[in-house]
Amino acid sequence: MQALSHVTICDLSGQLAGAGATRYLAALGARVIRVEDPVRQGAWDIVRGSPPYVDDRRGMELGGGFNNHNVEKLGVTLNLRLESGRDLLRRLIAVSDVVTENFAAGVMTKLGFSYDEMRSIRPDIIYVSNSGFGHSGPYANFKTFGPVVQAVCGLTFGVGLPDAPPAGWGFSYMDHMGANLMAAAVLAALAHRNRSGEGQWVDMSCTEAGLGLTGPDLLDYTVNGRPLRRPGMPDSNHSDNPPMAPHGIFPTDEEDRWVALACRDDVDWVAFGTVCRASWADDARFDTLAGRLEAQAELDRLVSEWTSKHSRHQVADMLLAAGVPAAPVAMSEDRIERDADNAAWGLFPTVDHPVIGDVRVDGIPAHFSQTDWRIERGAPLLGEHNREVFCELLGLTNEEFTTLQEEGVF
Amino acid sequence: MSGSLHGVRVIELASLWGAWSAKLLGDLGADVVVVEPPGGHFTRSFGPFVNDEPHPDRSLWWWYYNTSKRSVVLDLSSPRGAEHLRQLVADADIVIEGEKPGRLAALGLDHSDLRAGHPELVWTSVTSHGRRSTRSAEPWIDLTLAAASGLAWLNGYDDHSLPPMRGRGSQTLQIGGVHAAMATLSALIHRDSTGAGQHVDVSVSAACNVTTESGTFVWLVAGQTVQRQTGRHAFITPTMEVQGQAADGRYITSGFLPQSAQDYEALLVWLDELDLRETCPEVFFLELGVERGGINVSKDFGDPEVLAILGAGRTALMHIAANIPALDFFEGAQGRDLQCGIIFSPEEAYENRHFRARGFQVRVKHDELAREVDYPGAPFKMAASPWAISRRPPLVGEHTEELLGIPRTTDAGGESRS
């Protein structure tokens, strides 16, 4: 038995921000039934047939990111343009605890599945929608994807050198964090239903969720009137709160290979000096944090000169051994193929996919002593579980199934 | 209406890694008691501070991560403090802690000790590398976790003589924290149906490793390493720039480039409205985009005309942006169904009319300072069991007497570091 074995989710979500939420719940045992459009061959989900690929084959069943984000789910197809398709969705909702989606606001209502409609099918249904701006407010109809979400919510602004153009996030960070918070919303609503018997609609705006990830900077603004848009910002490799120096990412003896290090306090600085053994490390100006912050640019230059003589692993190993925080800036292969902790954790399990074959995917960063996660099965093919869901779960006869199939419902 | 976790009691041993997860549970309605060492937890020394005056009760870092909690001060290394913790845990549903491996066991206060007579207790450990790893005893901070977990590799500039970048805002703590909250909620739901608690071991490093999108799955699937680029996704080969500067100096992002005939039509109309068609380069290709009925880049990537049309869409967006303020560009583009973005600073987003209209600004009374403070609001809106900041962040040991019947101690000498 797993933690969510008794939970059934009717999952209309996709892309990464939606699929990432239900993948977590599926790994913890929930029966997640992913509903896709047979007419467009699931193409609403832009990652379904997108790179990366394991080999030269291309197609809607071969998207590596799609497989990664849809492990352990069941896949069905339903043509919701047809009344018989909508009828089957109603029957699916009737046996589900949760409905999830991440369409633009208004799409579900247009399909005839507003929260009120769903509640009339199943009174304690939990409906979690994750859209860019939520279902109310002046921007409710604006459309987003990860890069737009993180731009609008202030996260992109917070990555970069001082007074330089934003470097931003080199991936859809908010697809991950949006997915995580969406999963938390499902779980919170389940906990509430367990206590009160009532379901509800959870309206999540991904940009709002992202804005909440800038908390202390926002309070500095509301309390002290200090905006983050000010000279010298965002300066995100340095640390203003708490102040530390040195604190940054430094070059090494190999091109484009880097090491991160920081001295949290004067104790770390003394330890740094014993490792580095350069004369400047004894410079009295650097004895105090205030002095090191005052001369931070010069200090960064001196630290860079030292780190440039060593490999990223040498610098990190020497400093960590002395109790100073340090780590190589890991490339994909460093942490996926050569990290003992990730291996021991089982962080990249192998799944079996009927078309792609065996391939590794992301695991779950929590281990449960009694009900641990399980990721063994790859993403579903389009409509792979139609019979299992529509016949075994919803009770269609074989004849009914065949008739609907001929009508183009699946 | 009360929150989702009304009636759920959480004991949190104050930590760098666990703070946000316990705040999430507290704002969802749980009764959270944060246990701090004498003098207060070391994160109270993190700025910024109210009026820049450092004080354990004025840390805005502490404030943000500790709403909806009560605080007790206990010296867990003393028999009396340990006894008080046992007393608190006896009444709790959930414990969240981020102690170095071995510390609680040495004090006889680990999950195996305290769950012995209390099998329904959910105990979540959230540490840098998990309880099972010796690395959790090492000094890890946001910067070094961002580096080691693959986050930093993905962020930076086209110019690779500039270093990879960490993002602001202690994101590794938030990635680990949300996973701790998700795992704790899952274990609570399991307990709701079975009565059984358990121990949950959360690794912040593992959490960050699986929060790297193509940084991980492009390697897992195709054995390739993506490379950082300014303002856009790291990729295996260089891609088209998406970031531009608007007339007011703010940056915008072009987002998904226009590809449909309606998109090109909308761009032409917009250029005309702004009287910019004359000065916009490559307008010819926009017109061609309309004539061709749009383009499909993934299908016709080899067609130079298609690429020229795609590029012209980008050029037109950048040209418009360069001539109007960023907010006008963003609202104008989205109003025309073009998925562009504005790069707001956090406070600009916070003050924006959309987020205001949705009630994201939440006012919290700080009676100790005789003022009210606006906080960031709910990560999601729950209609039946609303998210809420039920109380302001606690002063050091503010509720020690209320909860344990012993006087509040305010003596200094809190631990430094973790």
> Per the CB < 8 Å rule, is A168 touching B162?
no
Q: State whether residue A360 sits within 8 Å of chain B by CB.
A: yes
> Per the CB < 8 Å rule, is A192 touching B337?
no
B361: helix, coil or strand?
A: strand
Q: How far is B162 from chain A (nearest CA, A)?
A: 9
- pLDDT category at B297 given cuts 50, 70, 90 is confident
pLDDT tens-digit series, residues B43-98 = 999 999 999 999 999 999 999 999 999 999 999 999 999 999 999 999 999 999 99
- pLDDT category at B413 given cuts 50, 70, 90 is very low
CA distance A67 to A64: 5
Q: Which residue on chain B is closest to A220 by alpha carbon?
A: B48
Give residue B409's pLDDT.
Answer: 64
**Of B64, B179, B345, which has the smallest distance from its Cβ to A215's Cβ?**
B64
Tell me the pLDDT of chain A averaged across its residues.
Answer: 97
- pLDDT category at B410 given cuts 50, 70, 90 is low
A355: helix, coil or strand?
A: coil
CATH of domain B9-211+356-404: 3.40.50.10540
Q: State whether residue B24 sits within 8 Å of chain A by CB.
A: yes
Domain ranges (residues) in chain B: 9-211+356-404, 251-343
- Residues of chain B in contact with residue A196, where contact means CB-CB under 8 angstroms, are 384-385
Cβ-contact B195, B15 below 8 angstroms: no
**Of B61, B206, B222, which has the smallest distance from its Cβ to A365's Cβ?**
B206
Give residue A215's pLDDT.
Answer: 97
Evaluate the omega torsion of the peptide bond into residue A234 and state whether it is cis, within 30 degrees of 0.
yes
B123: helix, coil or strand?
A: strand
The yes-or-no verdict on residue B414 having pLDDT over 60 is: no
pLDDT tens-digit series, residues B13-30 = 999 999 999 999 999 999
The yes-or-no verdict on residue B416 having pLDDT over 70 is: no
Give residue A234's pLDDT.
Answer: 97
**Residue A62: CB partners within 8 Å, gap ≥ 6?**
A49, A53, A54, A355, A356
Could you say which residues of chain A have pLDDT below 70? none
Furthest CA-CA distance within chain A:
87
Q: How many CB atoms lie within 10 A of CB A230?
A: 10
pLDDT tens-digit series, residues B300-350 = 878 999 999 999 999 999 999 999 999 999 999 999 999 999 999 999 999
Give residue B95's pLDDT.
Answer: 98
- Fill in the amino acid letter for B118: H
Ordered DSSP codes for A217-273? HHHHHHHH---SSSTT---TTSBTTTTBSSEEEEE-SSTT-EEEEE--SHHHHHHHH
> Per the CB < 8 Å rule, is A194 touching B47?
no
Ordered DSSP codes for B167-205? PSS-HHHHHHHHHHHHHHHHHHHHHHHH---EEEEEEHH
CA distance A22 to A351: 17
Give residue B406's pLDDT.
Answer: 83
Q: State whether residue B260 sits within 8 Å of chain A by CB.
A: no
Give residue A394's pLDDT.
Answer: 98
Q: Which of B204, B140, B100, B135 is nearest to A264 (CA)?
A: B140
Q: State whether residue B254 sits within 8 Å of chain A by CB.
A: no
> Per the CB < 8 Å rule, is B60 touching A223?
yes
Q: How many CB atoms lie within 10 A of CB A369?
A: 14
Q: State whether residue B336 sits within 8 Å of chain A by CB.
A: no
The yes-or-no verdict on residue B415 having pLDDT over 60 is: no
Give residue B302's pLDDT.
Answer: 84
Name the β-bridge partners of B227.
Answer: B235
SS3 content of chain A, % helix, strand, coil (to 5): 40, 15, 45
> Per the CB < 8 Å rule, is A168 touching B231?
yes
Domains in chain A (CATH in brackets) are 8-211+344-407 (3.40.50.10540), 258-328 (no CATH)
| ipTM score assigned to the predicted complex | 0.98
> Per the CB < 8 Å rule, is A218 touching B50?
no
> Per the CB < 8 Å rule, is A223 touching B50?
yes
- Residues of chain B in contact with residue A222, where contact means CB-CB under 8 angstroms, are 350, 373-375
Q: Which of B162, B364, B381 would you mutate first to test chain A, the one with the most A CBs within 10 A?
A: B381
**What CA–CA distances, in Å, run from A265 to A290, A307, A386, B362?**
10, 20, 60, 35
Q: State whether residue A391 sits within 8 Å of chain B by CB.
A: no
Q: Which of A139, A172, A193, A320 would you mutate first to test chain B, the one with the most B CBs within 10 A?
A: A139
Q: Which of B93, B117, B99 is nearest to B13 (CA)?
A: B99
Q: State whether residue B122 sits within 8 Å of chain A by CB.
A: no
- pLDDT category at B1 given cuts 50, 70, 90 is confident
Mean pLDDT of B380-404: 97
Tell me the pLDDT of chain B averaged across its residues.
Answer: 95
Phi, psi of A94 (to 5 degrees): -60, -25
Percent of chain B with pLDDT over 70: 98
What global pTM score does this model have? 0.97
- Residues of chain B in contact with residue A3, where contact means CB-CB under 8 angstroms, are 186-187, 189-190
